Amino acid sequence: MKKNHLYYFLVLSLLVFSSIHSQKKIDEKSNELIIKVDSLERKIHQLESKNELSGIVEEYKDLNNLYSYGFGILLALFGIVFPLIIYMVQIRPSLDTIKETKSLIKKIDDDFEKSFEEHLRKNKNKLIDQAIESFLSQTTQSLPTSYTLLDTYKSEGFTEIQVIKLLKVLSKADDNNTEDFIAGLLTFQEDSNIEDYFVNLIKSEPSNHQCIYGAMYFANYNKVEYMDLIANVVISGYSLVGMIASLCHSSKNFALQFINSEVLINDVTMEEEIINWGKYGAKFMIERIDKGKVESTLLWKKYLELI
């Protein structure tokens, strides 16, 4: 009987111990499960937080993009549209007004300048006409002023009518001073009437003292077709040295062409003049032009033959 009781006690103890041991394992498993569940919940919360953060970021990006677009539109409005509106409404009309004002001022200036120039031209021509009339009428008291006026305006040229009147003065003059002065004035203006006058004068009176002005006129305007006429002036008694010096003063190239004139070289009456030029005049010409060019001319070669 006692053995049975002991047996039951042992079995019961074993069952209790097993139950306690099993309960511990269950508790341990339960704790592990709870830990895993907590860990899983934390991960879930983290994921949810990330999703929320991502959403916030996306929303921020959208807001930022919207702000950027809006700011860009505002910049465009303030930088382009508004200034353009202001330009069209206020500035452009003002600029057009300024431009019209400038054009008007320029036109007024141009008109004034033209009017002033026209006034000066008319006044100059009036003074020249009065000076020429004083020569034609031989108004002695006015002549000094007339000389000065005509000499002042000679480089500006004369009208065709004034040229004709000056030629008339020249044909009527009875003193060398007036003739030389008027003939000298005419060398400053190329004109067919002046050219005809000098051509006819040299042909008819090659020894006339006015012929030197005709030679200078031909040199000034490179009238090389009249070289022989100039040679006839020298052959008729005008100094060869003086003629070449005058031509050099007007045009060095023309002077070089002149001393290649065969009419001048072949005239036997010119030998003494040529020798005189070679001794005294050639040096003057060489200094002003070129030794090689001068010494290659017919006149220089003729000089070497004669000495």
- Alpha-carbon dihedral angle through residues 231, 232, 233, 236, given to the nearest 10 degrees: 130
* Residue of higher predicted confidence among 256 and 25: 256
pLDDT band at 81 (very low <50, low <70, confident <90, very high): low
Percentage of residues of the chain with pLDDT beyond 90: 44
Q: What is the DSSP string of 240-299?
A: HHHHHHHHHHH-HHHHHHHTT-HHHHH-GGGHHHHHHIIIIIHHHHHHHS-HHHHHTSHH
Gap between the Cα atoms of 297 and 281, Å rounded? 14
| pLDDT higher than 90, residue 19 | no
Confidence of residue 56 (pLDDT cuts 50, 70, 90): very low
Question: How far apart are the C-alpha atoms of 109 and 226, rounded to whole Å?
Answer: 48
What are the helix (H) ranges across the chain? 2-76, 82-86, 92-136, 143-153, 160-172, 176-186, 192-204, 211-220, 227-235, 240-250, 252-258, 262-266, 271-276, 282-288, 291-295, 298-306
Distance of alpha carbon 223 from alpha carbon 262, whole angstroms: 17
**192-204 and 227-235 helices, crossing angle to 10°:** 40
- Average pLDDT over the chain, rounded to whole? 79
Q: Which of 38-52, 76-90, 104-118, 262-276: highest mean pLDDT?
A: 262-276
CA-CA distance, 186 to 166, in Å (whole number)?
Answer: 8
- Give the range among 7-16, 128-137, 171-180, 221-230 with minimum mean pLDDT: 7-16
For residue 185, the model assigns a pLDDT of 94
pLDDT tens by residue, 111-150: 666 776 777 778 888 989 998 998 888 777 677 888 898 9
Which is more confidently placed, 62 or 197? Answer: 197
Of 30-39, 110-119, 126-135, 236-245, the one with minimum mean pLDDT is: 30-39
Q: Give the pLDDT confidence score for residue 153 in this predicted structure.
A: 87
Residue 29 carries which side chain, given as an amino acid letter? K
256, 262, 263, 265 alpha-carbon torsion, rounded to 10°: 80
What integer pLDDT is reported at residue 198 of this predicted model?
97
Residue 32 has pLDDT above 70, yes or no: no
- pLDDT on residue 14: 53
pLDDT of 145: 86
Query: 299 near 277, Cβ under 8 Å?
Result: yes
Cα(264)–Cα(258) distance, integer angstroms? 9
Tens-place pLDDT, residues 293-306: 999 999 999 999 99
Bigger pLDDT: 62 vs 126: 126
Average pLDDT over residues 70-99: 62
